Each structure stands twice: as structure tokens, then as C-alpha cells.
């Protein structure tokens, strides 16, 4: 099976490593803050700690061009950066673990920013590694496996972390100490990605590029990566509209996702209720959705696949509106979590396929992909930062209906780009499928 190919398995484990830290500065941290008594408005503003995900294209040329002393010589161009960024990420999570939301929200924000910055750096390298290491025949399987593993990483750092915190509390530890050890355990999980990087082989495209450009000065390599990535993309037809589409496609997910965990806690579910359903039903839905997204990407053209993913991930928010009316009902929560995880995984796989199709030059793969994913993070970071205030003003049922409506601009852009021929030549295998 193609999913068992060594390159695909490496990409899957790296996907887990990329997905793990996101919730630690996001939804898991928000639950910790809510339990510590932080108000909803402040919690919503904490979406801004994701700023490094939107700005990572600024330092992506350094990842494309510079060597990490010692690491690059031993492990290679991409793998050296992988190991280095993962070690920094472990340190960042440990620092966040020793903060206290109730007493020092500023230090929590700084710790979360450090986690987000190191996580974003890891993402820069992992994305470049994935695009460069997988041949066309393994791209669909690689993207499906990557997204499924990414979501599993997120589930481990949400449901898994919450279970651990509860278990530590059950031993008699104070709540703050229990949260600290939960984050310490999550830092240890990063080692899965480090071990993967150590056993992987350097992508051939990256090795060839290093052989050609390795003798050039650092300034020349940085300039080529930065200027080439931007100029190549902006020279394309309807580039600005495509960039706007990248910003907005996952916004419906981001806007609702910012407040999902506080919503469930506010509704009256316990931390363990939420964790059990996310870990069990949510995990299964994520896995099935990830591979379903891979099937959709192979079976239909890129624009049709984007229509399917975009509509499904928007409509899924109605399950939370229904849950808000039903109230504390574990079956209703399970259904809502299933709908969210399944449709989000489908949309993400297809979206990753689209972004990957736009990045083909190994001289600046990391920079160009970082630019696109940074723009995608604008919705999660800035546009979603007011979600807490919207939820507070409208109430939960109306809030999740609004989450459906915010998908409309992206679908309008998708129709316009499709009519303009933007997707011609951007099929999964380099040509548009019928």
C-alpha cells in the first residue's frame, strides 16, 4: 500500500510533530485559562499569540538559505533545521509549563508566543521536507497521511493533555501543578518528531539544490529565496485574488475553533467529558476524514475538491448551534465533534493539496509555502481574535451560525478563480483533472 511507503510514513510522523504544539498555545491553553478564571474577552484575544504563524514567511528565507552550525553538517539542509527547531520547541513548551494564567497572564502570553514561534519554524521545515521528498505518485497519500497525523497530534495535545491533567489532579496535585506536568508530558511527545527526523533521509531535491548553491554566500542564498518566492508567485495571473482565497478558505474553521473548547466548558460539560469525546470519536472522525480528503483529491479536479471541502467544513458548524440548544447531552456533543473533525480534515487535506501545487521550486520551497500558510493563519490569528466578543454578544447558537456565514467570501472567490482559469495546470499530478 502506498500509505506504507517509507517516505509517506516519515511525512505522517512529521505531521504528528507539526500538529502537536498548535493546541498547546491554543485551545488547550484556553481551557487552562478558563479554569483559572480568565474572562472570555481576554481568552478571545489570546488568538493573537498565533502571530508567528502569520509572520513565519519573514524568516522562512533563512531556513531555505542558512545552515545551522553543527546540525546542517551532520544531518543535512532540511533535517538539520528539523532537529534544531524541535529542540527549541521542547524548551518553549517547558517554559510555558511553569507559567500561571491566574497570576501572570503576561508571562503566559510570552510563553505561548515562544511556543508558536518555534512551532511555526518547525512547520516551515516540515512543509518543505514534505513537498520535496514525495514523488507525484505519493503526494495524495502523503497529504492524507500528513493531515490525519497532524490532527492526531492536535488531539493528543487537547484530549490527551486534558486526561493527563485530570490524572495528575487525581493524585492530589494542585490544579496549577497538574497543568504544569501535563505540558511537560507534551514537551516529551515532541521527541517523536525528532526521532523521525533522525531516521529520515534528506530529500533528493534539497540535496541537489545544496550541491549547486552550497558554495554561494549566505546573503546571495537568502536573497534568492526571499525574492524568488515572492516574485514567482506575484507574477502569476490573479495572484492577489489567490492570496485572498488562501486567507479565507479555512476561516470558517478558525473562527469557530477559537471558541469551541470554552463553549463546551460553558455549556456544562466537564473537562473529562470533552477530552473523552475528542480523543475517541474525534480521533476516529479525523482519521476517516483525512483519508476521505485524500480520496476526494484523487477522484476530482482541484476546484471541485475545494468546493466539496469548503462547503462541508462550513455547514459542520451548525452541529454546534444545535448542541447549544440541546444542552448537556454527550451524544449531541459526540455528533458535533464528529462533524467538525471529519469535515475539517477533508477541507485541510484538499487545501494542503492546493498549496503544495503552488510550490514547486526547491530553491525557495520553504519560503513560498511559509508565505501561503502564514496567510492562511491570518484567519486563525487576527480575524478570529474577536470571536470571544462576538460569542459574548450573540450567544452560542447564533455565534455558530455566523461561523457558517463567514465561509461565503471564500466560496465567492473560489467561483471567480475557477472561472478565470486559475486552477488550470494545478491538478494534483501537475495537470488539471476532469
- Band of pLDDT at residue 196, cut at 50, 70 and 90: very high
- Of the listed ranges 35-44, 65-74, 101-110, 216-225, the least confidently predicted one is 216-225
Q: Rounded to an integer, what distance in angstroms lies between the CA atom of residue 399 and that of residue 380?
A: 16
Which of 3.40.50.300, 1.25.40.420, 1.20.1250.20, 2.30.40.10 would CATH assign to domain 2-419?
A: 1.20.1250.20
| pLDDT surpasses 60 at 173 | yes
Q: Domain residue spans in the chain?
A: 2-419
- Band of pLDDT at residue 403, cut at 50, 70 and 90: very high
Contact 82, 197 (CB under 8 A): yes
Q: Check residues 376 and 157 and name the one with the higher pLDDT.
A: 157
* Among 34-48, 205-219, 243-257, 419-433, the range of highest mean pLDDT: 243-257
In the numeric block, which cell numbers belong to residue 330?
A: 454527550
| pLDDT surpasses 90 at 353 | no
pLDDT (average), residues 180-196? 96
Region of residue 327 (left: phi > 0; alpha: psi -120 to 50; beta: else)? left
CA-wise closest residue to 228 among 336, 388, 363, 377? 363
- Band of pLDDT at residue 56, cut at 50, 70 and 90: confident
* Among 137-146, 190-199, 281-290, the range of highest mean pLDDT: 190-199
Q: Check residues 413 and 27 and name the one with the higher pLDDT.
A: 413
- Band of pLDDT at residue 67, cut at 50, 70 and 90: confident
Tens of pLDDT along 197-227?
Answer: 999 998 887 767 666 565 566 677 777 777 7
Give the pLDDT score at 154: 86
Tens of pLDDT along 267-322?
Answer: 888 877 877 786 678 778 888 998 898 889 888 889 999 999 999 999 999 999 99
pTM: 0.74
DSSP 68: P
Give the pLDDT score at 26: 85
Contact 305, 409 (CB under 8 A): no
CA distances from residue 16 to 22, 23, 192, 385 in whole angstroms, order as listed: 11, 12, 8, 26
pLDDT averaged over every residue in the chain: 86
Longest Cα–Cα distance in the chain: 65
Amino acid at each position: 500500500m502506498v500509505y506504507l511507503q517509507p517516505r509517506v510514513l516519515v511525512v505522517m510522523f512529521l505531521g504528528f510533530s507539526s500538529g502537536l504544539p498548535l493546541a498547546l498555545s491554543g485551545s488547550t491553553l484556553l481551557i487552562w485559562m478558563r479554569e483559572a478564571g480568565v474572562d472570555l474577552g481576554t481568552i478571545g484575544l489570546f488568538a493573537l499569540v498565533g502571530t508567528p504563524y502569520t509572520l513565519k514567511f519573514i524568516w522562512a528565507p533563512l531556513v531555505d538559505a542558512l545552515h545551522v552550525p553543527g546540525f546542517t553538517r551532520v544531518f543535512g539542509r532540511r533535517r538539520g533545521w528539523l532537529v534544531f527547531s524541535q529542540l527549541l520547541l521542547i524548551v518553549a513548551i517547558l517554559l510555558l509549563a511553569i507559567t500561571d494564567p491566574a497570576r501572570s497572564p503576561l508571562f503566559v502570553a510570552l510563553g505561548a508566543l515562544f511556543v508558536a514561534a518555534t512551532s511555526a519554524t518547525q512547520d516551515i521545515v516540515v512543509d518543505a521536507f514534505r513537498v520535496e521528498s514525495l514523488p507525484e505518485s505519493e503526494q495524495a497519500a502523503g497529504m492524507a497521511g500528513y493531515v490525519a497525523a497532524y490532527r492526531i497530534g492536535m488531539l493528543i495535545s487537547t484530549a490527551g493533555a486534558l486526561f493527563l491533567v485530570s490524572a495528575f489532579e487525581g493524585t492530589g496535585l494542585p490544579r496549577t501543578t497538574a497543568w504544569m506536568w501535563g505540558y511537560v508530558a507534551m514537551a516529551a511527545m515532541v521527541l517523536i518528531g525528532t526521532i523521525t527526523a533522525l531516521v529520515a533521509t534528506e530529500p533528493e531535491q534539497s540535496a541537489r539544490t545544496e550541491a549547486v548553491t552550497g558554495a554561494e554566500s549566505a546573503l546571495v542564498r537568502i536573497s534568492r529565496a526571499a525574492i524568488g518566492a515572492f516574485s514567482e508567485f506575484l507574477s502569476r495571473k490573479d495572484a492577489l485574488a489567490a492570496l485572498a482565497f488562501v486567507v479565507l478558505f479555512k476561516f470558517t474553521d478558525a473562527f469557530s475553533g477559537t471558541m469551541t473548547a470554552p463553549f463546551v466548558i460553558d455549556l456544562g460539560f466537564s473537562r473529562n467529558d470533552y477530552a473523552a469525546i475528542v480523543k475517541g470519536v474525534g480521533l476516529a472522525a479525523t482519521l476517516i476524514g483525512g483519508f476521505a480528503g485524500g480520496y476526494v483529491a484523487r477522484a476530482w479536479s482541484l476546484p471541485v475538491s475545494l468546493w466539496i471541502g469548503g462547503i462541508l467544513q462550513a455547514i459542520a458548524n451548525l452541529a454546534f448551534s444545535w448542541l447549544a440548544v440541546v444542552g448537556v447531552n454527550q451524544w449531541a456533543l459526540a455528533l458535533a465533534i464528529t462533524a467538525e473533525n471529519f469535515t475539517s480534515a477533508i477541507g485541510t487535506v484538499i487545501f494542503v493539496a492546493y498549496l503544495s501545487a503552488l510550490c514547486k521550486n526547491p530553491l525557495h520551497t520553504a519560503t513560498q509555502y511559509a508565505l501561503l500558510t502564514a496567510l492562511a493563519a491570518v484567519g486563525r490569528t487576527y480575524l478570529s481574535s474577536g470571536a470571544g466578543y462576538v460569542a459574548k454578544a450573540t450567544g452560542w447558537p447564533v455565534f455558530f451560525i455566523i461561523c457558517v456565514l463567514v465561509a461565503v467570501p471564500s466560496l465567492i472567490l473560489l467561483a471567480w478563480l475557477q472561472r478565470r482559469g486559475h486552477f488550470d495546470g494545478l491538478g494534483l499530478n501537475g495537470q488539471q483533472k476532469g
